[in-house]
Amino acid sequence: VAAAAVMLVLPAYVLKDFDFARAVLIGEGLAVAALVMCLAFVTVDVGGPGRLWHLIPGLGLFNWPRSMLTWDVLVLNGYLFLNLTIPFYILFKHYQGQEPVKRVYLPGVFLSVFWAVGIHLVTAFLYAGLPARPFWNSSLLGPRFLASAFSAGPALIILVLGLIRRFSDYKVEHATIQKVALIVTVAAQINLIMLGSEIFKEFYAPTEHSRSALYLFFGLEGHDRLVPWIWTGLGASILATVVLSIHPLRRRMPVLYAACAVLFAGIWIEKGMGLIVPGFIPSAWGQIVEYAPTWVEIGVTLGIWALGAFVFTLLVKVALPIETGRLRYAGAPAEA
């Protein structure tokens, strides 16, 4: 979700596309909320806030620069900094009734484009760099992370724009949503092509390293807890991609919103229960121990989601009044 903002940043800030400019601040706000959630999940993964100092290069004990988790925290914080400072500068200038200076924010925009790619590649390398987990040992894992991010992220942005369009006076044009929908469609198609390549690799000539994929898609030795998950997620992704690929259907807003919701859910299942969990099954010793989330894990996850929703709501509550002109500095020019 976080990297999806870059698909709006380039057309809005560099190409000066007015349609994308109406959505870019919403996308960056969503990126900030997603990055806060990512860092909160890292905090949970290391066991608590008291251990976060281990992730500081040169100070902690996480073997930097070899530790991919430390790299992950660095790129997440860097991208969070960029997505906070650039919109803050632009909103502050608008609050003052002035136009932002390009030479101030454009370098950060170009840097954020490459940084957005980096956060997903580093996350993919975190998994692909574990030789004891052959399910993740794929050179396509990084590109798959990018393709799914550039489809699921903008799909969520479309849903948010639809809500803002309905419940606020912030004008989001039909053309804006349709342009973002085109990005979602192309990225979703690429994501399915890559997923199909992975499935072919696993099942055309299966080896001992294909046991995780067999367990995921068909069950293994009577264990099939994840089978309904992956087929539901895969079916949702295919259905949504087909609907989005049909131009007359994509232009109908209720159908577009439904397809984006289904696509987001499908990719969430594919990247969660369909990628992370089966990587641990079977274990390195060949044992099959199925996973089910505990109530503690569910509670922590819901709490972090609530934190992200709170951060995004807070950012939107500040950004929309400034962009609509309702919130201005007392000494700002009247024409602003």
**pLDDT the model gives residue 336:** 44
Rounded distance between C-alpha atoms, residue 21 and residue 30, angstroms: 15
Query: Does one domain contain both 49 and 192?
Result: no
Task: Mark whether 148 and 117 lie in a shared domain.
Answer: no
Q: Are 65 and 124 in a shared domain?
A: yes
Global pTM? 0.89
Q: Are residues 141 and 287 in the same domain?
A: yes
pLDDT at residue 235 in the model: 94
**Is the alpha carbon torsion for 66, 297, 47, 30 positive or negative?**
positive
pLDDT in tens, 202-223: 888 888 888 889 999 998 888 8
Same domain, 125 and 179: no
201 token code pair = 């690799």
The residues of the chain scoring below 70 in pLDDT are 57, 62, 330-336
Distance CA 157, CA 155 (A): 5
Q: What is the pLDDT of residues 270-324, one digit of tens each?
A: 988 888 888 888 887 878 888 888 999 999 999 999 999 999 999 988 888 887 7
Q: What is the pLDDT of residue 62?
A: 67
> Could you list the residue range(s) of the whole structural domain that residue 212 is in?
137-292
Are 15 and 68 part of one and the same domain? yes
Q: What is the pLDDT of residue 331?
A: 64
Domain shared by 65 and 114, yes or no: yes
234 & 97 share domain: no
Residue whose entry in the numeric block shows the structure tokens 């009247």:
334
Shared domain check, 115 and 241: no
pLDDT at 334 (0 to 100): 55
Residue 147 shares a structural domain with residue 276: yes
Residues 287, 217 within the same domain: yes
List the structure tokens of 174.
Answer: 């039909």
Name, in order, each residue with C-beta under 8 angstroms of 117's C-beta and a sequence gap of 6 or more. 3, 6, 146
Counted domains in the chain: 2
Together in a domain, 45 and 115: yes
